[in-house]
A and B are shown apart, each in its own frame.
Chain A
Amino acid sequence: MEFIVEMLNIRKEFPGVVANDDISLQVKKGEIHALLGENGAGKSTLMSILFGLYRPDSGVIKIRGQEVKMTDPNVANSLGIGMVHQHFQLIHNFTVTENIVLGLRGEKADIAKATKRVKELSEQYGLYIEPQAKIEDISVGMQQRVEIMKMLYRDAELLIFDEPTAVLTPQEIQDLINIMKNLVREGKSLILITHKLKEIKAIADRCTIIRRGKKIATVKVSETSEQEMADMMVGRTVSFKVEKKQAQPGDVILDIENLSVKNQKVFGLKNFSLKVRAGEIVGLAGVEGNGQAELVEAISGLVRPESGSIRLNGKDITALPVRDRINAGLAHIPEDRQKHGLVMDFSIEDNLILKKYYERPYSQRGILNREAISGHARKVIEMFDVRAGQGQQSPAYTLSGGNQQKAVVGREIDSNPDLLIAVQPTRGLDVGAIEYIHKRLVEQRDNGKAVLLVSLELDEIMNLSDRIAVICHGELVDVVDGDKTNENEIGLMMTGIKKEKTEDAS
């Protein structure tokens, strides 16, 4: 059996934590090997060691059977290891070829020769890249292929993909899967870092699962179910399906009519209309940057729309300041908890009153009531299972991402809002925390409240939503019932193709 990469008994300690504890990873030549683990399990550390960014405290790295010292990323590159980063490292006003040769010297940097070579490689691997196109003119999926091409052009034999599907539409994901299969067919080996079990199931040969810095197992994907892999990753039995009863939609809570919002100088949201009723979860599906942010900012009052109206409980809130909207029954779990959701230098208890500090009982005549603030914090912390070293006094920055998110979710739900806007409520969280937050959102719905869920995770949208609205290029494509649709249909709509028109388009 030939291994292209072997990492044996790798150990890496950071002050206070063991990031990698005796982890071994063996990748066979020509296989797709998935690396599965929750956030903070040690995946990135392990890959950084393989790439020469960190030195392991102990352990051995072998490439094609030869022991090597990975002192810096250049060594990794010269040994044929390439990484396709989650955040693309491309220069937008350069052409594809210029980006590919960036940083190279001599023969390889010759644009004319490179263009030819890129064309050849592109055909060989089925990438369909146009070498002379500018990065800013091509789609996100295509940009990712440029990243892959960069590695191929540098003769990488082992390609590491870091969460490659996070930014792609379902169709693009399918294309990527085909490309990965082509790569393997042509003799390359792949490591796929992900927490999406479905993708592992679809494409990987073997999967190494790590949890809290320890290797749990390496399994054959064909012989292991998604459930088994998830349980190994989390360390307990998790449920994927959110238990929920039939929705009982009531009155219209949020009524958006012909809303248009400018983002800088162009319209990010165009003539958008949507209703959300009490007792239902409406999911807004779409690829990132298609108008979701503009919509949410307009509803929450952070930007003023150009035209159109927003009604909450029948009251026009289009021009109201943020605080009045909050008082009218609006709560908002923001996309970026560290930028918008929390004051990181404040304690948890101070963060939990961020929208209510001026009200009784938290203050009276401008004087804060510390006891009431602490009491409120203790209650929310217990209800929402926020774990913090020094309880409600802990500064927010000392909490893990999951607990920060729980604090934000706790604050927003605790305000008992008529409308809850949840934007990417589980971004970057592990399976356990996701399960918990999903339950809370459904609970909110069952209590007769309206929930607008904005998410890039199609699974999350499909799982939770009673109705699904799809947005593309700032326009509403369509609204469909959650139980009468499927991922393919939503995925197609995310590219702007309407349901009835499916046949004409294809």
Chain B
Amino acid sequence: MTERSLTFTLNGQKHEAKADPRIHLGDFLRHSLGLTGTHIGCEHGVCGACTVIVDGVPVRSCLMLAVQIDGCIVETVESLGKPGNLSPLQHAFAANHGLQCGFCTPGMLMTLEAFLRATPTPTEDDVRIAISGNICRCTGYQGIVQAALDTAAAKANPT
């Protein structure tokens, strides 16, 4: 198949790349660009592990073709904090044991990152509904929910 040329902004950097039209965004990020932080869990749009932010909105990167990001702003888990300098949300995940195996974690983080920008003071129910499209098999969700609430509270009431 003929590859298409794409121009997009990825994690704050302008990028030009070529993509096979059949490749979905998740595989493109992982295997063409080497950004393996985004994980592929079901490839039918239900588990949410592959969630990234495109133009400010969380999307399932397994349900979006790579060629569709031409002209878009894409954010992945690699845009958040680094191991020595975690973002507030990442830090809250660690503090609340919001991850175990870590496989669903990048999708959870990106879903909540987009959600908290739009909903800075959520209730517990709001958070549970926000991540109701992300499956975690390890944690029982409680630590994840608390991490989101703690992050929102810290931002609303900086000490």
> Do these two chains really belong together in a complex?
no
